[in-house]
Amino acid sequence: MDLQQQVNSGKYFLMAGFMIYLLKSTKRQAPGAKPQRPRARMKSMKVIFMLLVVLGLLILSCRNEKVFHEAVVNNPEFIPDSAFVSFENLSSPKFRTLREKYQLDTVFHGERGDFKRILRLRDWISRVIKIDDYGPYAGDGSVESILDEALKGKGFHCGHYTAVQNAVANAYGYVTRCLLADTGVPVDYMVGGGHHAINETWINSYHKWFLSDAKYNYHFEKNGIPLSALEIRDEYLKNKAADIVLVKGIDRIPTAVYPGLNISKEEFARVYTWLSWGIHNNRYSNWPKTNTDLMIMYEDDYFKNHTWLWDGKPHWAYHTKFMHLVTNRKVIEWTPNSITASVRIEANLAHIELRSITPNLRTYQMKELPDGDWKDVSNAVEVELKKDENQIVFRTVNLADVSGPEHRVVIEAGKD
């Protein structure tokens, strides 16, 4: 029983006591008893009247007591990370050096939206690095070495683009991971026979992962929504990607056949038949120590009924410690920067506990609607309930000052 219920119970006991008292006070006198004097009778009636007034006030106060409850709100889904290990460490001085050395702040041109900023970074990488699928490759393989050599006119393959995009996007607080896509059978329209390295980046404004290819400066969309690697795979296996669009560049220009490569949308989508995500997501801050061979794969019906061929043979990672299989796709689709909240109400006080998996979390923030300001808070918050409808919004902010999707808590007053 909470505090408010205890208070109301006490009032009900008081009412019952008053009623008993009134009944006793109004009993008929026993036969032969001495009649009350008029003054005493009047005094008794005054007492009874006062008790009736008090009883009425108690009844009214109980009837008008506000009982608060949490309303149902359609918040962004929170899915915890249960399989990936480690994140990039934004407190590493490497990230500040990366931003300053290559003057990456100038890439945005005042753009504030997270998706457009991510596309501008990708476009910059695509323009700076020239494609060279055959090598040999200059430098030591580090992100700085790739960019330094690229600025001298040297070219690189998809794995180099992926390493650079991972570092650059994470440097600005956009959670990015590396993955490998493959047709599963050798094809002649892509160098390497159908292998391709790309990234996925989490978009807070869309509350989803989207596949971002820095080498070719493209991604896929459906009804204007950028798609993840798994979603592209779904669409290809369903109907050869007939319902999705290949878009290129910052302006997301629809492209049926990729310019200069003569590769169709369907052929590009086919590359995502087999997908493996790197388990470790700290490739830049931990370079060159991170083991990039450890992979997570989605074990669905297609995986079970087909064999992933690599250079014409079953992939070398089958039945090894390097391949980690998951049967629940939400393990892969976990939601960075999102919040889940637990609410407990006592009288007019709400106790709210927040949880989030936010890489490089700086703080939680809260504001009370309609006109409150954002303020830093801990993961445990107490809010005084002053109105019949109390709307509180929470979000995370990381070390790069990127804020996550908003989570709303609504607490309403009703009648007991």
pLDDT digits (tens, 9 = 90+) for 55-97: 555 554 444 567 999 999 999 999 999 999 999 999 999 999 9
Q: In this structure, are 126 and 258 located in the same domain?
A: yes
The answer to whether residues 294 and 347 belong to one domain is no
> Can you give the CATH number for the domain in which 376 is found?
2.60.40.10
Within this chain, do residues 232 and 203 fall inside the same structural domain, yes or no?
A: yes
What was the pLDDT predicted at 10? 47
* pLDDT score, position 3: 41
Buried b (16+ CB within 10 A) or exposed e, 362-390: bbbbbbbeeeeeeeebebebebebeeeeb
pLDDT score, position 193: 81
Residues facing residue 178 across a β-bridge? 199
327 and 345 assigned to the same domain: no
Domain match, 179 and 222 both: yes
Q: Could you tell me if 289 and 409 lie in one domain?
A: no
**What is the radius of gyration, based on Cα positions, of the chain?**
33
Specify whether 155 is located in the same domain as 54: no
Q: What is the largest CA-CA distance in the chain?
A: 123
| Domain finish residue from 12, 32, 64 | 64
Q: Tell me how far apart the alpha carbons of residues 339 and 381 are, in angstroms, rounded to a whole number.
A: 14
Asked whether residue 110 falls in the same domain as residue 199, the answer is yes
Convert the pLDDT of each residue in 16-41 to its tens digit: 454 555 445 554 455 555 555 556 55
> Residue 275 contacts by C-beta under 8 Å, 6 or more apart in sequence?
179, 180, 181, 182, 229, 230, 233, 297, 298
pTM above 0.75, yes or no: yes
Which of helix, strand or coil describes residue 176? strand
Last residue of a domain, one of 316, 331, 346: 331
Helix (H) or strand (E) holding 231: helix 229-239
Distances (CA, A) of 148 to 129, 140, 340: 10, 11, 43
Kindly state whether residues 327 and 341 are assigned to the same domain.
Answer: no
Written as six digits, the tokens of 14 are 């008081």
Residues 197 and 286 in one domain: yes
Domain of residue 357, residue span: 70-76+337-415
DSSP state of 101: H
Close Cβ partners of 140 (under 8 Å, ≥ 6 residues apart): none
Compute CA distances 91 → 121, 145, 191, 254, 361, whole Å: 20, 21, 38, 38, 11
Going from the first residue of the chain to its last (416 residues), give the mean pLDDT of each consecutive group of 10, the final group possibly shorter.
45 49 50 56 57 51 71 97 95 96 94 96 98 95 98 97 98 98 91 91 98 97 98 98 97 89 93 97 93 95 96 94 98 98 96 98 97 97 95 98 98 79
> In this structure, are 128 and 249 located in the same domain?
yes
Specify the number of domains making up the chain.
Answer: 3
Residue 138: count other Cβ atoms within 10 Å of its Cβ: 17
User: In the listed set 34, 64, 94, which residue is the last one of a domain according to the structure?
Assistant: 64
> Do 142 and 90 have their domain in common?
yes
